[in-house]
Chain A
């Protein structure tokens, strides 16, 4: 009897069907309901939010599960976005052409490191590879030296600051503060066309769902358990014969790639990428939704991020400075008093009827 119930539980309760149902519901909402209900403007706003939510999925994995408080996701978001933007600029300029801003403000010559982005295939490849390589190198270097916790957070923040300054300083090749904008086409398809805008939304929705699936697989896998173990007691894991640096680096790289893909899709949807979207402040901004939704949960970061983006847009429409107070207050209240995010409220209710529950949201490691 008990065995039967147990088996039923493992089959049903700990998330499998619930996750499937949630996933199906999300798919229906994103693919069927939203496109019908929302005006083209609202739909492309939602598409933008979905791109930001992709960054959140990665942060949920790295920070929520791995304890890596990365304050520099703007760097990877920016890498993906700029690589895509470079391709779009070159494509607009035509074969052998020079992007408009380069002839206006620069030397009128395309620098060598822009050239690979003439090829659409190379661009897509590099959008994944460049952030992965950078995150891999940096993560490995930093984590093997056991730079962690606050140190890692501050370093990643400095990285975001440096990246933004670098972009601004290289105006002739990166567009400086103006960033890159004024794209006409996305892989040959007119960006002003509402039909194509809608397709971009659908692509963003699909990619986001795909990322959630990837994140889910990582979270329920042995790797996911190991990641939580590393987060909570890194040294203990080391004494079991694992190299925690490798575990963390993997999570960091995955988060970086997700941010980069989000950035790459952000560009054709929003039509601009500038250093204002990649520096210190937007990098912390990515965390707001994650913290509010529930950092260690699967869907919390996604829903939180979308909700916060939505709130930002609608609150600032009503009260311009109100949004700042609201954002600050949200951060303070949720993190100080509800560290598990809103998801922990849901879970608290759920826990009563489910014996086996996924790892609860954690508290950070104790200071040394």
Chain B
């Protein structure tokens, strides 16, 4: 990994000397040599202090900017989990000390703040991130600093890092079951609508491959720029294609504009159902229940899931943040992530990154969604897929569920039709 540290330093120095005032640099060059003789492995997780009664962990969510809408909710449920754990005696007897940083909805800020949390605050693990861009930006940081990130949102798969635990769904736990469900319902043609970024593009690649293998016709594939607000043209295209169903990977505000247009144009779940993978309970209020009632979603958790753990989770969450608040899949996945980390640490009896990685395999947690288990190979979580239908109260009710938890398969290696996708 570090082929030519010393030579590198000197040559880079020479390079800058060529460009700059030589005197100032020569002085510094010497300094750099002494300071940087040994590249230290220990700048990262090595500085985690576990000697006291507390241990620091970092929460890194966008609390400002466009993504604050979604990420604030994740932050709330992380806080809930942390206070529950602390009330219950902490982790390995140490109280959790939370360091909160704001990702400001910008990937570069996520990278910067992740570095800060790891190297300056010396946290044992970081929880957060939402967009793929923010995760991609943080990944090199966690790998080079050898620290841990718990990422709580369903995503496009095709990734696996020893330093990241993915507690949301990968594609074979959300997209593929969604398609299975539609195929089961006799859907023979699909129209794909998505925002123009990595998740929808990748999801639609998978959908196309699946459709080809299963005799489903894809009648159209449309992308709208993030934040796009005028969907009349796209809805016109959807209408004239007249598919059996629409697979919707739109993100954020665009869903509101899309569904308002969709229902205003007289389309509804009866003539052309829409299966969405980015609309959770949290978003339904903003879209307006009347516009999405009866439409389908694919997730691993709904507020209505009937488990004792969920009842307790919803109750605790609403007690903390208000009875009008709803819980959603990413919030639950974030809540789980803290407990899963706790499980790993307690199994390893150590906060050390390598020990935690070692212990991760098989750690499970009786989550609100049901029991989830960490896959030690790819650091994803075995989860049950749930197809839901949006009710008139704005909550989502399970319509169909997979036969037990699905093992995560981020590269879709277990699916013949997906060959060549990654």
Residues of A within 8 A of B (CB): 27-28, 31-32, 35-36, 39-42, 44-45, 48, 104-105, 165, 168-169, 171, 176-179, 181-183, 187-196, 198-200, 202-203, 206-207, 209-210, 270-274, 276-277, 313, 316-317, 320-321, 323-324
When A and B form their complex, what is the total count of cross-chain residue pairs whose Cβ atoms lie within 8 Å?
Answer: 190
A274 to B1, CA, bound (A): 25
Q: Is the CB of B202 within 8 A of A198?
A: no
Contacts of B4 in A (CB 8 A): 188-190
User: Chain B 1-20, CB within 8 Å of chain A: the 1/0 string?
Assistant: 11111001101110110011
Q: Is B133 close to A, CB under 8 A?
A: yes
Indicate if B198 sits at the interface (CB-CB under 8 A): yes
Which of B15, B112, B120 meets A203, CB within 8 Å?
B15
Question: Least Cβ distance of A286 to chain B in Å?
Answer: 14
Within 8 A of A (CB), among B134-189: 136-137, 139-141, 144, 158
B64 touches A194 (CB 8 A): no
B interface residues (Cβ-Cβ under 8 A, vs A): 1-5, 8-9, 11-13, 15-16, 19-21, 24-25, 27-28, 31-32, 35-36, 39-40, 43, 63-64, 100-102, 104-108, 111-112, 115-116, 119-120, 131-133, 136-137, 139-141, 144, 158, 196-198, 201-202, 205, 223, 225-226, 422
CB pairs A–B below 8 angstroms (17 shown): A32-B31, A105-B158, A165-B225, A168-B196, A171-B198, A177-B133, A188-B4, A190-B1, A193-B2, A193-B39, A195-B5, A203-B12, A209-B20, A210-B20, A271-B111, A272-B107, A272-B136
Residues of B within 8 A of A272 (CB): 107-108, 111, 136-137, 140
List the A residue with the shortest CB-CB distance to B39. A193
Within the assembled complex, what's the spacing in Å between the Cα atoms of A104 and B410? 12
Known: A272-B137, A324-B64. A192 touches B2 (CB 8 A): yes
A198 — which chain B residues lie within 8 A by C-beta?
32, 35-36
Q: In whole angstroms, what is the CA distance A174 to B137 when docked?
A: 15
| B63 surroundings in chain A (CB, below 8 A) | 320-321
Q: Which residues of A contact B3 (CB under 8 A)?
A: 190
- Pairs of residues from A and B, 4 with the lowest C-beta to C-beta distance, nearest first: A195-B36, A206-B20, A320-B63, A320-B102
Chain B residues lying within 8 Å of A42, measured Cβ to Cβ, are 120
Q: Give every chain B residue within 8 A of A104 (Cβ-Cβ).
A: 158, 202, 422
Give chain B residues whose Cβ lies under 8 Å from the Cβ of A177: 131-133, 196-198, 226
> Is there contact, CB below 8 Å, between A203 and B39?
no
**Would B197 and A176 count as touching, CB distance under 8 A?**
yes
| A40 to B39 CA separation, bound complex (whole angstroms) | 12
